Amino acid sequence: MCMSKADAQKTVFSWVECGLTSSLSEIRVRTLQGILFLLQAVSHDDLKSVLPFIHSFITSELQLRRPGADTANMNVELESTEYETMLWTVGFFFCDNPLFSTENFKATFFDLVCESFTSLLTPVWLMNLLTSGIERLVVSSRIYILSFNRIAIQMLGNYFSMSSKFVFSLRIVIACLYHGMEEGTVLRAGLEPYDPRLHLMEQHPTIFKILAEGAEEDVNRLLRVLPYMLIDSLNQSEIINSILKELIHRYPHRSHPRPIAIFSIIHHWFSVLHSRETESVVLDWTLNGLDSFKYVTDAAVFRFYVSAFLCSSAPNPSIANLFYVIVGRRPEATWLDNYWFTFTVRSLLLRLDDEARSKLRTSMEKYIKNGVEYSDAERVRNYPTI
């Protein structure tokens, strides 16, 4: 005799309740694994009776085990990471599949995710799990982009007090940026408009401060993705202006702490520009960018910046390939900057017409300090002749 639908639902509820309330962690783990199977194999209508119980169980268990929770006076067994992993996994599945969850559950689970993600007490294994779950939600649904992007940006802003969160926050920012570019600007009823370009530009000061003063390992991670993030999301003017602003105006009277990092982005940008635009367009961008260095008041720093910038923009591969030699020179070898200045400026002069050549030297001699224009011949020491 076949079991009726109602009897089957009662049986499932009994099995789930018995398994999740077991005193043995192993049984609860296997029950959660079985629940995941059921969620993917059975329609939500057939599980309506048991879903509220599972929702309540998941949130209650995670609240008891949230970072920093006082379990001294609670009858809580701190099970293996496998059990907590399964709790989070089932929770993320519910949020990723709206038919199986309620607004109340999603709101509670979201708060638990954010609390754990931002806590200094959260272990690395859980940060990896949370980040993967957040990435999944961001990619699967537009509704999560703005909320999780704000959390990730908050963590980036707290980098110098919570640097351990950096790589996880960066992963979420990347997911929000690229998925946001796909559909974030599409207006949907009940959803706040999201412009990923705007959000990225708003974070430039934070990102570039990390690039300048963050840990070496984090800077290397950032350099692997930042050039692509900028090029993929911003127009040419926004990219070069924001980079030069951070390079020049954040440290106007001394060299940037990590010039090689900034110029690596510029070098990458010019390589892309060469592949997309004509030589005349690249030359215009070179001259416009060069004009920004008039705000660098130190003559030695000016010559170093100009050499690195012109090397990056050079269409000749033999010159462009010298980039890392120029920016990677040791502090005790600053005397080399004079020779590189002569070499790179000469390469630029060969690309200019007579009128532009005649104006370049005069332009390079000038600098602006406190809104007043000055002239310093030391800035163009060893200026080449053609």
Task: Identify whether the C-beta of residue 221 lies closer than 8 Å to the C-beta of residue 182.
Answer: no
Structure tokens at 222: 């950032």
Residue 227 lies in a domain: no
What's the total number of domains in the chain? 1
Residue 338 lies in a domain: yes
Residue 74 lies in a domain: no
245 CB burial (10 A radius; 0-12, 13-18, 19+) = middle
Which residue range(s) make up the domain with 358? 235-385
Residue 310 lies in a domain: yes
Residue 275 lies in a domain: yes
Measure the CA–CA gap between 235 and 233, rounded to whole angstroms.
Answer: 7
End-to-end CA distance of the chain: 100
CA angle 265, 266, 270 (to 5 degrees): 120
Residue 289 lies in a domain: yes
Residue 239 lies in a domain: yes
- Mark the ranges of the chain whose per-residue pLDDT is less than 70: 1-3, 69-79, 183-199
Please name the residue that has the structure tokens 């002569």.
Answer: 342
The per-residue pLDDT for 74 is 47
Q: Strands 372-375 and 366-369, how do they pair? A: antiparallel
The one-letter amino acid code at 23 reads: S
The per-residue pLDDT for 184 is 52
73 CB burial (10 A radius; 0-12, 13-18, 19+) = exposed
Residue 308 lies in a domain: yes
Measure the CA–CA gap between 177 and 196, rounded to whole angstroms.
Answer: 5
